[in-house]
Amino acid sequence: MTHRLSKHWLALPAAILIASCGMNDQPRTAAATAAIGPFGLDLTAGDPAVQPGDDFFAHASGKWFSGFEIPADKTSYGVFEKLADDTELQMRALIEAAAAARGAQGSPSQQVGDYYASFMDEAAIEAAGLEPIAKDRSRIEAARDKKAIAALFGAPGMQSPLGIYATPDAKQPDRYSLKISQSGLGLPNRDYYVKDDPKLKEVREQYLGYIERMLTLGDVSGASAKARDVLAFETALAQAHWPIERLRDANATYNPYSKAQLLAYAPGFEWQAFFEALEIPSREQFVLGPATAIRDVAKLIERASLETLQAYLTFHLLSGHANHLPKRFDDAQFAFYGQVLNGQPAQRDRWKRGVALVNQGVGELAGRMYVERHFPAESKAKMQTLVANLRAALKQRLEQSSWLGDDTRQRALEKLSTFVTKIGYPDQWKDYSTLEVRRGDLIDNVKRVQLWEWRRDLARLDQPVDRNEWFMTPQRVNAYYNPLNNEIVFPAAILQPPFFDPNADDAVNYGAIGAVIGHEIGHGFDDQGRKFAADGSLNDWWTGADEAAFTAQTRKLVAQYAAFEALPGLNVNGEITIGENIGDLGGLNMALHAYRLSLHGKPAPVLEGLSGEQRFFLSWAQVWRAKYRDEYLRRLVLSDTHSPSYFRVNGAVRNMDEWYAAFNVRPSDKLYLPPQERVKIW
């Protein structure tokens, strides 16, 4: 599918996977019954034979890790996947009830139910064959020049080497801008095309075979030669693309251009035809993300043959709709993207993929059903208290910081005071009343959703920014920070055990949800979030001395994580994960500070022989326990801004003096860092 309709905000919060849990202001005793264990920890999961200072992840979760088998339809598994599975079952019941009810046309029940039913009707999909995409294929085949190709790049359901989306303007966050980005790759990112790595070379060979397989299934003549042309074109795209490290730079990816400036800077592409297809023929102002990549992609499209661009569009049309087409397409797509790229042995049940389709397409409609059935009002109130606790902790830490100057300190405190917190679900839901969904019309339903979202964005371009909008659905087990709104957001689905458990011990809760809340607050002060002011604008508010002190600490953290080896010969990329690593370390520090404040000067109870701080750190480690297939782990390291869970656990605690004291960690232990090498930022 084209990437032009995707939402985007700094630090990729759509991908920020974090934990969360509830707590009270007073210490909870072991008399309360938690969902896991007597007070919220799984005391059977850890491996006591492993010293905490040698491998804290294994000490907390080693027995679980060695004995757990990843389900055949998963690429990884941990606490988040378990919660997602539970939520998925809840969503299935709600969605299938809507499908069975066959509500009145245009009602939320009808839209959700028919969207799902269209995907689940495999017999109808088999019978339709390639007919649902016949018109799109005819348009591709009829293209006689690059102007027609550019128009196709802007059409719903088509892939494009250039992405475009509406977003609050980084310099003027009270208004929307249209941002143009790099796009168009079939592999996860540029590294998969350009790195001289034996494993990635193997993936490229398999990808070439997949392209040929899709074209062959689509009855495209000369599939083998065209597959090579498509791969060569995508490789050239990848060479033009910016790497993830550079894409994270908020300043480098903010480049306002008028239309005239854009046409002069990036000639060779039929921009006007592209804009007309996108229904923005008169738009005069844009923001370019990776500017040189956009320029070079325009040149590449100019040089490419018409036949190559047609083959590229045809392949991505078939691949993008593979799971909406007959089983032979679906199977071929899974064989590459599931098995080769991610190491997933078995395809997920169709109902699970149907639920995912609904969540992606009409997610807020389904999310409203979820909230009404599964999210108690008291959970929202408790989370508001927790966030207030974490903010109070960071306020004290900012006031007491030894390296911040007074000017920057005051601006940081101002930013913290203006943080907005969203919990559970939106105050105002999206209005889908104008969206047409028809049972038995799967591919057109998907395209209509894309077009509906795009037109909804266009209608808001000259309006004030909608501060109530959410970029995740309530049923998503996740959370995010949005610097343009200076907001932290916690969907309903993450606010359940083990992340949110009102009966768990406070130390456990602070180590889970507390660290997660702190993580999200911390994104406002990570290496990119810190560049945004209290009003959400991209505005440098740091003194030179404070920026230098901050950078010195972050460089140490980059080096620490870059030393972690995820697979033989493949280390964590400390540069692309630095924002998340700052969030983890800062969030854990804030949470521990808040936990200590909650004790009101009283000693923490000792439970099962564990001190309060030991339970706090063990909770952090158990929330992040996860297991990966090698193929997926490779993909994660190469393309994700998050470190693998193992390193998130060990990498954060080894920088905290309190962890050393809690577990009597000694210089001879493997994770030990001398005090002067421990990173202390927030």
Pull the structure tokens for residue 120: 């689940």
Task: Please list the residues that pair with 314 across neighbouring strands.
Answer: none
Residue 11 pLDDT greater than 80, yes or no: no
Do 677 and 553 form a contact (C-beta atoms < 8 A)?
Answer: no
The pLDDT score that the predictor gives to residue 17 is 30
Domain range 15-76+375-421+472-677, CATH class: alpha beta
The pLDDT score that the predictor gives to residue 615 is 98
Is the CA virtual torsion 529, 531, 537, 541 positive or negative?
positive
Starting at the earlier edge strand, list the strands of the sheet with 420-424: 420-424, 487-491, 480-482
**Secondary structure string (H, E, C) spanning 107-134:** CHHHHHHHHHHHHHCHHHHHHHCCHHHH
Three-state DSSP at 546 gives helix
Question: pLDDT of 248-292, one tens digit each?
Answer: 999 999 999 999 999 999 999 999 999 999 999 999 999 999 999
In single-letter form, the type of residue at position 367 comes to: G
Closest CA to 301 of 156, 468, 148: 148
As a whole number of Å, the end-to-end CA separation of the chain is: 40
Residue 241 pLDDT greater than 60, yes or no: yes
Q: What is the dihedral of CA 146, 151, 155, 157, to 10 degrees?
A: -10
The pLDDT score that the predictor gives to residue 377 is 83
The pLDDT score that the predictor gives to residue 462 is 81
Q: Which position has the higher pLDDT, 13 or 366?
A: 366
Considering the chain, what percentage of its residues have pLDDT values greater than 70? 95
Residue 357 pLDDT greater than 90, yes or no: yes
Determine how β-strand 176-182 pairs with β-strand 285-288.
Answer: parallel
The pLDDT score that the predictor gives to residue 15 is 30
**What DSSP string runs through 264-287?**
HHSTTS-HHHHHHHTT-TT--EEE
Considering the chain, what percentage of its residues have pLDDT values greater than 90? 92
Three-state DSSP at 414 gives helix
Determine how β-strand 162-168 pairs with β-strand 176-182.
Answer: antiparallel
Do 486 and 418 form a contact (C-beta atoms < 8 A)?
Answer: yes
What is the mean predicted confidence (pLDDT) over 42-54?
Answer: 97
Give the largest CA-CA distance in the chain.
78
**What DSSP string runs through 590-631?**
HHHHHHHHHTTTPPPPPBTTB-HHHHHHHHHHHHT-EEE-HH
The pLDDT score that the predictor gives to residue 559 is 98
Is the CA virtual torsion 634, 635, 637, 642 positive or negative?
negative
Task: Please list the residues that pair with 182 across neighbouring strands.
Answer: 162
Residue 21 pLDDT greater than 80, yes or no: no
Pull the structure tokens for residue 558: 């980059």
The pLDDT score that the predictor gives to residue 463 is 87
Residue 500 pLDDT greater than 90, yes or no: no
What is the mean predicted confidence (pLDDT) over 608-629?
Answer: 97
Question: pLDDT of 512-554, one tens digit each?
Answer: 999 999 999 999 999 999 999 999 999 989 999 999 999 999 9
Instruction: Note the residue count of the chain.
Output: 682
CB count, 10 Å around CB of 666?
10
Residue 663 pLDDT greater than 80, yes or no: yes
Backbone dihedral angles phi then psi of residue 3, each to the nearest 5 degrees: -90, 0
CB count, 10 Å around CB of 455?
12
In single-letter form, the type of residue at position 637 comes to: V
pLDDT, averaged across the chain: 94
Determine how β-strand 487-491 pairs with β-strand 565-567.
Answer: unpaired
Backbone dihedral angles phi then psi of residue 229, each to the nearest 5 degrees: -65, -40
pLDDT band at 414 (very low <50, low <70, confident <90, very high): very high
CATH number 1.10.1380.10 is the correct assignment for the domain at 146-306:
yes
CA distance 450 to 75: 28
667 class by beta-carbon count within 10 Å (0-12 exposed, 13-18 middle, 19+ buried) = exposed
The pLDDT score that the predictor gives to residue 3 is 27
CA distance 544 to 21: 38
Residue 102 pLDDT greater than 90, yes or no: yes
Residue 2 pLDDT greater than 80, yes or no: no
Domain ranges across the chain: 15-76+375-421+472-677, 146-306
Pull the structure tokens for residue 644: 């693998």
Closest CA to 178 of 277, 293, 264, 255: 255
What is the mean predicted confidence (pLDDT) over 450-470?
Answer: 94
pLDDT band at 399 (very low <50, low <70, confident <90, very high): very high
- In the chain, DSSP finds a helix count (H) and a strand count (E) of 29, 11
pLDDT band at 32 (very low <50, low <70, confident <90, very high): low
CA distance 312 to 260: 29
Question: pLDDT of 581-602, one tens digit each?
Answer: 999 999 999 999 999 999 999 9
Question: pLDDT of 311-344, one tens digit each?
Answer: 999 999 999 999 999 999 999 999 999 999 999 9
Closest CA to 574 of 624, 631, 527: 527
The pLDDT score that the predictor gives to residue 9 is 25
Sorted by sequence, the CB contacts under 8 Å of residue 543 that are 6+ apart come out as: 405, 407, 408
- Global pTM reads 0.93
